[in-house]
Amino acid sequence: MGKLSLAVVTILVATVAAYPSKPSFLGCQSSEDCGVDECCVLGMMRYSVPTCRPLGEEGDTCRPHSGDVQPQNITVTYPDGSSADLYVHTMLCPCATGLECSDGMSCTGLDGAGKLMLREDYTDVDDLNHLRR
């Protein structure tokens, strides 16, 4: 019975060692690790570390059609031998809700229904009262 227990412990230790945990220096592994108005972004440099960045605001640089592009599944490996499976955006977060990436590569407000309206867009008190109903 003692040899069997030793064999089980040895196999368990070998199995745990074969599956390294997430490197402690990673900022995020997916946007779920970030705040509500942020996404997890991986840069294009070798050994880049993913970090939480804010979603694109009005006028921020963006990638056209990035709203159509979902985060990518990527496995990264670092010089210390650690690795991690990521579900991240590459280089830039998409535009915030209510904005879209224009062909000019900047986040802009939507036209018509669903348009993001700022406080300074309202000049008529009746418009403000209508919103409160």
Residue bearing the bigger pLDDT, 114 or 32: 32
Residue count of the chain? 133
Q: What is the mean pLDDT of residues 101-109?
A: 88
Q: Domains of the chain by range and CATH?
A: 21-132 (2.10.80.10)
Lowest mean pLDDT of 13-17, 49-53, 91-95, name the range. 13-17
Return the beta strands (E) in 1-131 as ranges: 38-42, 51-54, 72-77, 83-90, 99-101, 107-109
Q: Per-residue pLDDT tens for 22-73? A: 677 888 999 999 999 999 999 999 999 999 999 999 999 998 875 556 899 9
According to the model, what pLDDT value does residue 34 have? 96
According to the model, what pLDDT value does residue 82 have? 92
